[in-house]
């Protein structure tokens, strides 16, 4: 085993141990002190996770250019770290407290969701790695909606197992993005069973997707939501979860998106993925600290 693999294995071991230690601390910490604990985690991460912090600053500069000052960018990155820590603590704390989860997460635009479900064709919830999105899925499952999410498995299988168990306790079904054929079949089956399928489309998708404009620059984007809508006639509903000042949350369901037809199937996909991406950008511009900037969104570029 070379040095790089050893360092990677050690880093993942530290992360796994840290997750378990934090989970134990959260179990014995009174609820009123949870966000203080999250702040402590955030401060440590902000101090030591230099690589992630640099990625966040690079991403923000790519997105906003000269629109925001350095002080504004600093504030967004710091708040982004705070929100990630808060989200992790909330997830561990609320995973076995369904009533408290319902009390802390409100739903706006529920009529849009129920109207779409009444068609009996399933609903594709199009979103992003935005806010505490696992709570969004958990809140819907607790409310009685049959809910699934398409997820990329984490690189550390031990950490993935922990979060898989949390999703299962919420009643959320996991559809892994790989292998691709199995993902496609399971997604279509869920939609034909009139379930909700959550698909985030805000991360770099390499050469397998389409390039659309995102903050004025081309970004490789997954096409799944539109292709699944074409194949199943499922409704496409953009949805987001927003943190409030008191650390409660609000889920917002936008009206269902009507597919705009292009000259051919390929153009139809491109047009509508752009429309969905524009909605995601609008939310990120309004609530920039809610998005996961610690990701190289524009890594892949058209040749």
Q: What integer pLDDT is reported at residue 96 of this predicted model?
A: 79
For residue 165, give the CATH number of its domain.
3.40.1130
Q: What integer pLDDT is reported at residue 17 of this predicted model?
A: 57
Specify whether the CB–CB gap between 227 and 269 falls below 8 A: yes
Q: Is residue 300 part of a domain?
A: no
Q: Render pLDDT for 9-37 as a digit per residue (tens, 0 to 9).
A: 545 555 555 665 777 777 777 878 899 99
Distance CA 131, CA 117 (A): 24
Does position 49 have pLDDT exceeding 80, yes or no?
Answer: yes
**Alpha-carbon dihedral of residues 264, 269, 271, 273, nearest 10 degrees?**
180
Distance CA 165, CA 182 (A): 21
Q: What integer pLDDT is reported at residue 154 of this predicted model?
A: 76
Distance CA 52, CA 42 (A): 13
Does position 157 have pLDDT exceeding 80, yes or no?
Answer: no
Q: Is residue 217 part of a domain?
A: yes
Q: Is residue 19 part of a domain?
A: yes
Q: What integer pLDDT is reported at residue 156 of this predicted model?
A: 72
Q: Is residue 302 part of a domain?
A: no
8: pLDDT confidence band, cut at 50, 70 and 90? low
Average per-residue pLDDT for the chain: 91
The whole-number average pLDDT for the span 251-264 is 95
121: pLDDT confidence band, cut at 50, 70 and 90? very high
Q: Is residue 142 part of a domain?
A: yes
Distance CA 168, CA 6 (A): 32
Q: Render pLDDT for 56-70 as a digit per residue (tens, 0 to 9).
A: 999 999 999 989 999
Distance CA 191, CA 212 (A): 26
Q: Is 28 left (phi over 0), alpha (psi -120 to 50) or beta?
A: alpha
Number of domains the chain is built from = 1
The whole-number average pLDDT for the span 82-102 is 91
Q: What integer pLDDT is reported at residue 167 of this predicted model?
A: 84
Radius of gyration, CA atoms only, the chain: 19
Tokens of residue 100, six digits: 């408290």
Owner of token pair 């925001």: 68
221: three-class secondary structure by DSSP: strand
By residue range, what is the domain housing residue 152?
3-290
Owner of token pair 């650390």: 247
Distance CA 295, CA 98 (A): 31
Q: Render pLDDT for 287-303 as a digit per residue (tens, 0 to 9).
A: 999 999 999 999 999 98
The whole-number average pLDDT for the span 268-295 is 97
Q: What integer pLDDT is reported at residue 164 of this predicted model?
A: 82
Q: Render pLDDT for 214-237 as a digit per residue (tens, 0 to 9).
A: 999 999 999 999 999 999 999 999
Q: Is residue 268 part of a domain?
A: yes
């Amino acid at each position: 085993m070379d040095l790089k693999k050893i360092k990677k294995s050690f880093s993942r071991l530290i992360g796994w141990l840290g997750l378990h230690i934090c989970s134990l601390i959260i179990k014995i910490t009174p609820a009123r002190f949870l966000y203080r604990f999250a702040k402590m985690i955030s401060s440590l991460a902000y101090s030591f996770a230099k690589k992630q912090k640099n990625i966040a600053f690079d991403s923000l500069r790519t997105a906003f250019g000269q629109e925001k000052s350095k002080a504004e960018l600093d504030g967004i990155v710091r708040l982004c770290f705070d929100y990630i820590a808060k989200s992790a603590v909330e997830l561990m704390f609320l995973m076995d407290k369904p009533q408290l989860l319902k009390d802390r997460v409100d739903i706006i635009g529920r009529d849009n969701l129920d109207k779409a479900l009444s068609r009996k064709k399933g609903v594709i919830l199009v979103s992003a790695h935005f806010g505490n999105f696992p709570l969004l899925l958990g809140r819907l499952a607790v409310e009685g909606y049959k809910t699934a999410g398409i997820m990329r498995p984490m690189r550390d299988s031990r950490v993935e197992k922990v979060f898989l168990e949390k999703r299962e306790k919420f009643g959320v079904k996991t559809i892994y993005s790989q292998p691709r054929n199995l993902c496609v079949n399971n997604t279509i089956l869920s939609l034909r069973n009139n379930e909700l399928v959550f698909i985030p489309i805000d991360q770099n998708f390499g050469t397998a997707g389409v390039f659309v404009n995102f903050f004025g620059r081309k970004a490789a984007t997954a096409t799944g939501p539109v292709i699944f809508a074409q194949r199943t006639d499922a409704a496409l509903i953009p949805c987001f979860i927003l943190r409030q000042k008191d650390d409660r949350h609000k889920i917002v369901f936008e009206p269902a998106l009507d597919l705009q037809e292009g000259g051919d199937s390929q153009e139809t996909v491109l047009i509508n993925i752009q429309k969905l991406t524009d909605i995601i950008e609008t939310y990120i511009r309004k609530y920039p600290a809610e998005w996961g900037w610690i990701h190289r969104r524009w890594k892949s570029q058209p040749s």
